Structure 1
Amino acid sequence: MYDRLVRLLTEVLSIDPALVTPQRTFRELELDSITLVELAVMVTEETGISLQELNLDLTLAQTAERFAAQQSQSSV
């Protein structure tokens, strides 16, 4: 999931790849709440799993972990 987030951030949202690290928050990447919703929609469209409770202060690593948890719950 982390790799998917990186790809969407860099290729679709044109964030500088040098800025995208697991420890960065969406706020540090200068995303706003609307862009964060757009990112969540893109992830849902690609995976069928909705990323819930996203906020600008989550790191990319935390977001990937939440996605993995939701993914394992949906496969049960």
Structure 2
Amino acid sequence: MLLEDIKSKLGGSIYKTSGAKAYKYQLSNLKGLMDLVLRINGLIRNPIRMLQLDKVCKHYGLLLKVPNKLTYNNG
């Protein structure tokens, strides 16, 4: 249901992977991709994913935002 919600807002396609209980989301239009990058920029905390997002941001000439530090009162 989450992928359907993302698809309705940004476009793209959803595929069921063969041999696994998983789905793939494919977004190939530039407008939707830029919208996705701008929405998630500054929210990713995983170091490996941040490196991947940094490469995408550099490719499109965007700055990678560093997420705010977690505190006791965040939740």
The structure where strand makes up a greater share of residues is 2
Considering Cα pairs closer than 8 Å and 6+ residues apart, tell me whether 1 or 2 has the greater RCO: 1
TM class, shorter-length:
0.3 to 0.5
TM-score by length of 1: 0.32
TM-score by length of 2: 0.33
